[in-house]
Structure 1
Amino acid sequence: MSDNNTVQYTEANIRTLDWQEHIRQRPGMYIGKLGDGSSADDGIYILLKEIIDNSVDEFVMKSGKRIEIKIDEGRAQIRDYGRGIPLGSVVDAVSKMNTGAKYDSKAFKKAVGLNGVGTKAVNALSEYFRVRSFRDGQMKIAEFSQGTITQNHQESSTSERNGTEITFIPDATIFTHFKFRKEYIERMLRNYVYLNPGLKILFNGETFYSENGLKDLLQEELEEEILYPIIHLKDEDIEIAITHSDKSQSETYFSFVNGQNTTQGGTHLNAFKEAYVKTVREFLNKNYEAADIRKSIIAAVSIKVIEPVFESQTKTKLGSSDMEPGKETIRAFMIGFLKKALDNYLHKNTPTAEALQRKILVSERERKELSGIQKLARERAKKVSLHNKKLRDCRQHYNDQRALRKSESQIFITEGDSASGSITKSRDVETQAVFSLRGKPLNSYGLTKRVVYENEEFNLLQAALNIEDSLEDLRYNQVIIATDADVDGMHIRLLMITFFLQFFPDLIKNGHLYILQTPLFRVRNKKETRYCYSDAERIKALNELGKNPEITRFKGLGEISPDEFKHFIGKDIRLEPVVLGKDQTIEQLLEFYMGKNTPDRQNFILSNLVIEDPEIDKKQQLEETL
């Protein structure tokens, strides 16, 4: 006997979605997280990458050495000079699932995009999408909206060179408040040219080009002195560049598979680390600790694999273990290559081999000197963590492979109890953790890593993030500094950025550090409430909400009630990424923010304070603060 309240499950419940409906309802399956452009792995960059990948694959197939990219606000256009999509297949190629040329492994056996999904996902997730294909004096154009064709033009003659041009505008109903950030796009394009020497990419008038591949990548990325010239090793399916920094305390890796930047590494990077340590140990005939051999290493690793298996559609981590299904493993291939190529190089370049051994001995000595205080600090952190009031943890963590929402994991670093209280009460306990600072943290500029262990607050933060040795086990994808938008808050923000720049720069280089943007004003009438993040937004709200709306200015995070705060750390969260510009070194930034140039720093803070309050003399308050 059935309960009348039970929903009946019949044929009427079964529904087949059109391809574009499926992509739009489940975009995460195709492009990972949506985001607003504040993270390098947000969806709008995946859309861009899916189109560029196809153009790069044309270059790989020896067709078309130039790609032109134009981005104006939210509109992107990519033009290549490859063969062009066959005119009779233009519509199917961008709107029919599992249609493409790359299933023929002979033509594209080591291509980036292999599943025929990427361009269709871009089409479905764009409010406007246009494809133009040029082949042998003929042109075909088709236009779409949200994956549905709106204009199917007849073929016509053209004087354009062969190739394909894709123009798209991401759908603002899916990508809310999105913004393309130049820094992330430039990083992506630099990687493309490093991996494809001879390819020229023009982006809004700027040219990206490389002759020496991964060697150029390391030279671009190097911010400090290196201990020996870059070791550059190449073979048909592998390219490696290696050196050691003179100052950095961490390991820095850039890894790629079939031209895809695997930011989370995977089986190939693990194989490289193992093979590198094994080769160096055997060459020096000494069983040094792996951590001492790899400390301060800066390396770029690129391999080409047939039918790679990634852990997600966005291809940021390699999961497969074979160079080709059923053939040699990646591990065996990597060990064999380094055993021969790196061993030969070190035998032929004695000064490099000697510099490498000196670095290992220095790392060994530093590790032993720190080991005593590290042990005490870890014991203290373990003891405190049992009743640690600093950290209110979440349940899903970035380093937990089983966590379904690991990429959403966030930790807010807050000042004082009132701010952390508001965030704690309004957060999502599944994915959002809170770490509460006691007032102003120590200025760590110029100090050694010893202070990380001696300062209880820094030690607890390091333990909470789980980044003592590397970023591999980072527990939160986004580390968010959440301070008041006043002089004190700005100073605390700078002190925390200094801490990460000084001791954990990879957190910033890999795009994990953010500033939380919170509203400065609330403007409301009886019908509507608007939260304003700038003076311009406040003025706009005043104009649109009619006569005499109520205006509240939030002087600190603690003044925002938990019920309101949940709007600012939920799906509409606004984050500003902390990004290292390509022309800025960590040393220069540290010197600017926390060195002896106090007037410059004062001017920087003053110009970045967005609150205008005639009752406060900002310069006087700043001088008192600093």
Structure 2
Amino acid sequence: MAEVKQLNEYNEDSIRSLDWREHIRLRPGMYIGKLGDGSAPDDGVYVLIKEVVDNCIDEHTMGYGKQVEIGIEGKTVTVRDYGRGIPLGKLVDVVSKINTGAKYDSKAFQKSVGLNGVGTKAVNALSQHFSVTAFRDGKQKTADFEKGILVKEYKEQATQEPNGTLVTFTPDDTVFRNFHFIHEYLDNQLWNYCYLNAGLAMHFNGKKYVSKNGLLDLLQRKTNPDELRYPIIHLKGEDIEIALSHNNDYGEDIFSFVNGQYTTQGGTHQQAFREAYVKVIRDFYKKDYEASDIRTSIVAAISVRVQEPVFESQTKTKLGSQSVYEGGPSMKNFVLEFLARELDNFLHRNPAIADALKKRIEQSERERKELSGIRKLANERAKKANLHNKKLRDCRVHLNDEPPAKNKEEFVSNQSNTTIFITEGDSASGSITKSRKVDTQAVFSLRGKPLNAFGLTKKVVYENEEFNLLQHALNIEEGLEGLRYNNIVIATDADVDGMHIRLLLMTFFLQFFPDLVKRGHVYILETPLFRVRNKQETIYCYDETEKQAAVKKLGNKPEITRFKGLGEISPEEFGRFIGEDMRLQPVILEQGDHIQQLLEYYMGKNSMERQEFIINNLKVELDRVEDGEPAVA
């Protein structure tokens, strides 16, 4: 009892003061959101790059430097800008002292992204190696760090290099375990910087990024011209820019930005746009359309410049500012006044576009009314099913939960890790359910192969009980604002049937909820195909190459188990594959992908065309296997 009392004793010795480096490394989620391994676009390794590049963008915004160079070699990142360069005497302080920076002085940085003096310090503390060099007025100075600890500060020396800053860092693999960079995510990130900063040229591993037309270029890249109902409307004003159109997809696809920062979770500016757009359209057509009919199938982008922006977390994914600047108009009035003037004028000057927009709204209105009856019945069934829903084993924290007053940052970090596994069969879902983290991981069990949704209307989502229950589990009927899980993970067996179920589920999402894929919420779970073990060690292998390496390492003919189905993996083992070392393959739509054409090819009735492609591209590789084991095709 005395020992228990001592453990629970709370006195002066219980109080610790952490220095800046210790605190960042102990609570990284407060500074960069979730850690992750690079398989998701909001994983920490991308936030580290963003924090460094944001400083380059702020220099450009202030009129210094028109070029940023980024390189990734292996796991090391290099960023070079041509701004003013960090003052040499403060070089070490700027990257290693919290609350040190120039952005507290509004004269030096107007409407910048980073304001708290935290970004590069977090990168420094969470990097295995971190080096910064400032070039300023013919002189340069360098400082090297390891995990935030200063290793060497070099003396100032003369240089012929133009002004600017060079940062090189390697994320700490003890923090970001098994991390890797997916270049498609960086590609999108860099394009967004260019769309929001006319005249800025960015170079990434030899590829150049530049935009002349801002958000117009963004929407042209994000959409397919064959699917747009009318040409993109592009409106620009002081501290605000908007581009919009409608296509044939379901839902809303809105990209929002503040001071060059992509606010993936929206905020006051995005909500202001959604409300203002509805009001302006109603006023223009003098008809009280439903808000959902006006916004259904919209694809839009809004960018605003704000003084002293208030974000809801250090990762700056959601704007909380209520006004554009101190003493200025509210965000809602600012956006409304701009749209009421510019969009109204545009529609009056372009009657053909105004007519096409009206037809799209009225088409949505007809579709909604046709669905209303069956939607009501389906929702009633779903509510009853939810009371005894054996398909969904829910978790405790959800993406759309309101953060509590206490431990808010930790709660937000948990929200970003919320995951729903969609799996098939009782045995597989049973293994995942027993080994999952009940706080952040949910399981939805399919009865068998779902319906092929290609070419069907949204009516089938309500008529098909399984689709309707899945829609309600995700809470996406009215759009992504209420999405309950950040990660939607398709977990199927590694066989032909499992692959088919993957395709059917991806078809469902792409047909009816494409924003889930476009916003990077959908993944494929990779589970090991083989277990190779002897009495001393067990190695799990995800492909034939890994298996051969494991056999060679363990030697003496170890025991090899081939996992065909998820149900064959015990819950104890499964816990390893959905924990910190979980391998996820993101479902990524590449630029130029035409969703309907993709679905037509893979899920349509052109079986002969697919068959011909498979025959022409089939490769049979015979792997040489040691110790007389049979070759695998």
The TM-score, its normalising length taken from structure 1, stands at 0.95
Kept in 1: contact 2:221–2:592 (CA 8 A): no
CA shift digits 1:191-210 (9 cap, x unpaired): 00000011000111111100
State the one-letter code of the partner of 1:598: R
> Are residues 1:360 and 2:361 paired?
yes
Q: Which residue of 1 aligns with 2:482?
A: 473
Residue in structure 2 matching 1:435, options 444, 453, 459:
444
Kept in 2: contact 1:244–1:296 (CA 8 A): yes
Shift of residue 361, structure 1, vs aligned partner: 1.2
| Cα distance in 1 between the residues matched to 2:612 and 2:142 | 54
| Cα distance in 1 between the residues matched to 2:4 and 2:456 | 71
Q: Which residue of 2 aligns with 1:154?
A: 155
Shift of residue 145, structure 1, vs aligned partner: 0.6
Shift of residue 534, structure 1, vs aligned partner: 1.6
Q: Tell me the SS of whatever aligns to 1:188.
A: helix
> Are residues 1:510 and 2:522 paired?
no
State the one-letter code of the partner of 2:78: Q
Kept in 1: contact 2:112–2:259 (CA 8 A): yes
CA shift digits 1:45-71 (9 cap, x unpaired): 000000000011111111110111111
Kept in 1: contact 2:135–2:161 (CA 8 A): yes
Q: Tell me the SS of whatever aligns to 2:481.
A: coil
Once superposed, what is the RMSD of the aligned Cα atoms? 2.3
Shift of residue 13, structure 1, vs aligned partner: 2.5
| Cα distance in 1 between the residues matched to 2:428 and 2:623 | 18
> Are residues 1:561 and 2:587 paired?
no
Q: Which residue of 2 aligns with 1:290?
A: 291
Q: Which residue of 2 aligns with 1:76?
A: 77
Shift of residue 381, structure 1, vs aligned partner: 1.4
Q: Which residue of 2 aligns with 1:621?
A: none
User: Per the alignment, do residues 59 and 11 of structure 1 end up closer, same or farther by CA in structure 2, a change over 3 Å counting?
Assistant: same
| Cα distance in 2 between the residues matched to 1:612 and 1:299 | 53
Q: Tell me the SS of whatever aligns to 2:480.
A: coil
Q: Which residue of 2 aligns with 1:94?
A: 95
Kept in 2: contact 1:593–1:601 (CA 8 A): no
| Cα distance in 2 between the residues matched to 1:129 and 1:606 | 46
Q: Which residue of 2 aligns with 1:6?
A: 6
Residue in structure 2 matching 1:548, options 532, 550, 557:
557
Residue in structure 1 matching 2:244, options 228, 242, 245:
242
Kept in 2: contact 1:485–1:609 (CA 8 A): no
Shift of residue 327, structure 1, vs aligned partner: 3.4
| Cα distance in 2 between the residues matched to 1:558 and 1:572 | 20
| Cα distance in 2 between the residues matched to 1:604 and 1:413 | 33
User: Per the alignment, do residues 37 and 361 of structure 1 end up closer, same or farther by CA in structure 2, a change over 3 Å counting?
Assistant: same
| Cα distance in 2 between the residues matched to 1:154 and 1:34 | 35
Q: Tell me the SS of whatever aligns to 1:341.
A: helix
Question: Which segment drifts farther, 154-163 or 201-210?
Answer: 154-163
Q: Tell me the SS of whatever aligns to 2:36.
A: coil
Structure 1 segment 78-157 matched on structure 2, within 5 A: 78-157=79-158
Q: Which residue of 1 aligns with 2:408?
A: none
Kept in 2: contact 1:266–1:319 (CA 8 A): yes
User: Per the alignment, do residues 527 and 113 of structure 1 end up closer, same or farther by CA in structure 2, a change over 3 Å counting?
Assistant: same
Kept in 2: contact 1:520–1:611 (CA 8 A): no
Shift of residue 464, structure 1, vs aligned partner: 1.1
| Cα distance in 2 between the residues matched to 1:277 and 1:419 | 45
CA shift digits 1:242-277 (9 cap, x unpaired): 1111x2122110001111101111111111111010
State the one-letter code of the partner of 1:419: A
| Cα distance in 2 between the residues matched to 1:357 and 1:323 | 31
| Cα distance in 2 between the residues matched to 1:197 and 1:349 | 26
User: Per the alignment, do residues 291 and 606 of structure 1 end up closer, same or farther by CA in structure 2, a change over 3 Å counting?
Assistant: farther
> Are residues 1:229 and 2:241 paired?
no
Structure 1 segment 445-464 matched on structure 2, within 5 A: 445-464=454-473
| Cα distance in 2 between the residues matched to 1:322 and 1:102 | 19
User: Per the alignment, do residues 560 and 608 of structure 1 end up closer, same or farther by CA in structure 2, a change over 3 Å counting?
Assistant: farther
| Cα distance in 1 between the residues matched to 2:621 and 2:332 | 52
Shift of residue 588, structure 1, vs aligned partner: 3.1
Structure 1 portions without partners, runs of 5+: 619-626
| Cα distance in 1 between the residues matched to 2:569 and 2:335 | 54
> Are residues 1:330 and 2:337 paired?
no
State the one-letter code of the partner of 1:415: E
Residue in structure 2 matching 1:588, options 584, 587, 597:
597
Q: Which residue of 1 aligns with 2:579?
A: 570
Shift of residue 123, structure 1, vs aligned partner: 0.6
Q: Tell me the SS of whatever aligns to 1:107.
A: coil
| Cα distance in 2 between the residues matched to 1:274 and 1:447 | 31
| Cα distance in 2 between the residues matched to 1:441 and 1:611 | 35
Q: Tell me the SS of whatever aligns to 1:327.
A: coil
State the one-letter code of the partner of 2:6: T
Residue in structure 2 matching 1:599, options 611, 620, 625:
611
| Cα distance in 1 between the residues matched to 2:569 and 2:29 | 32
State the one-letter code of the partner of 1:443: N
Q: Which residue of 2 aligns with 1:624?
A: none
Over 6 Å off, 4+ runs: 1-4, 603-618
Sequence identity (%): 62
User: Per the alignment, do residues 604 and 453 of structure 1 end up closer, same or farther by CA in structure 2, a change over 3 Å counting?
Assistant: farther
Shift of residue 609, structure 1, vs aligned partner: 12
Count of equivalent residues: 617
Shift of residue 212, structure 1, vs aligned partner: 0.7
Q: Which residue of 1 aligns with 2:387?
A: 386
Kept in 2: contact 1:498–1:593 (CA 8 A): no
CA shift digits 1:196-234 (9 cap, x unpaired): 011000111111100110011111111242222211111
State the one-letter code of the partner of 1:6: Q
Structure 1 segment 263-282 matched on structure 2, within 5 A: 263-282=264-283
Q: Tell me the SS of whatever aligns to 1:342.
A: helix
Structure 2 portions without partners, runs of 5+: 405-410
Question: Which segment drifts farther, 353-362 or 196-205?
Answer: 353-362
User: Per the alignment, do residues 604 and 113 of structure 1 end up closer, same or farther by CA in structure 2, a change over 3 Å counting?
Assistant: farther
State the one-letter code of the partner of 1:429: V
| Cα distance in 2 between the residues matched to 1:228 and 1:422 | 49
Shift of residue 456, structure 1, vs aligned partner: 1.5
Shift of residue 397, structure 1, vs aligned partner: 1.0
